Amino acid sequence: GAGVSQTPSNKVTEKGKYVELRCDPISGHTALYWYRQSLGQGPEFLIYFQGTGAADDSGLPNDRFFAVRPEGSVSTLKIQRTERGDSAVYLCASSLTHRGTTEAFFGQGTRLTVV
Amino acid sequence: AQSVSQHNHHVILSEAASLELGCNYSYGGTVNLFWYVQYPGQHLQLLLKYFSGDPLVKGIKGFEAEFIKSKFSFNLRKPSVQWSDTAEYFCAVNAGYGGSQGNLIFGKGTKLSVKP
CB-nearest partner of A100 from B4, B45, B102: B102
Residue B5 has pLDDT above 90, yes or no: yes
- What phi and psi values does residue B87 have, to the nearest 5 degrees? 180, 180
Cis peptide bond upstream of A8, omega within 30: yes
Report the pLDDT averaged over residues B51-67: 95
Sorted by sequence, the CB contacts under 8 Å of residue B63 that are 6+ apart come out as B35, B47, B48, B76, B77, B78
Q: Which pLDDT score, from 0 to 100, does residue B112 have? A: 98
Give the amino acid at B14: S
The overall average pLDDT reported for chain A is 95
Report the pLDDT averaged over residues A97-112: 92
- Cβ distance A101 to B51 less than 8 Å, yes or no, reads yes
- Cβ distance A97 to B94 less than 8 Å, yes or no, reads no
> What pLDDT band is residue A69 in, cutting at 50, 70 and 90?
very high
- β-bridge partners, A84: none
**A82-98 exposure pattern, b = at least 16 Cβ within 10 A, e = fewer:** beeebbbbbbbbbbeeb
- Cβ distance A103 to B101 less than 8 Å, yes or no, reads no
How far is CA B93 from each of CA A32, A73, A100, rounded to the nearest angstrom? Answer: 17, 25, 9
Gyration radius of chain B over CA positions: 14
Q: How far apart are CA B88 and CA B98, in angstroms?
A: 30
Q: Which pLDDT score, from 0 to 100, does residue A82 have? A: 98
- DSSP-derived 3-state class of residue A84: helix
CB-nearest partner of B100 from A48, A93, A102: A48
- Cβ distance A55 to B106 less than 8 Å, yes or no, reads no
- Cβ distance A98 to B100 less than 8 Å, yes or no, reads yes
A-chain residues within 8 Å CB-CB of B6?
A: 42
Q: Which pLDDT score, from 0 to 100, does residue A1 have? A: 53
A31-59 tens-digit pLDDT: 999 999 999 999 999 999 999 999 999 99
Give the amino acid at B11: V
- What spatial distance separates the first Cα and last Cα of chain B, rounded to whole Å? 41
Cis peptide bond upstream of B116, omega within 30: no
The overall average pLDDT reported for chain B is 94
Q: How far apart are CA B112 and CA A98, in angstroms?
A: 31
List the alpha helices (DSSP H) in chain A: none
B-chain residues within 8 Å CB-CB of A56?
A: 99-100, 103
Q: Which pLDDT score, from 0 to 100, does residue A99 have? A: 83
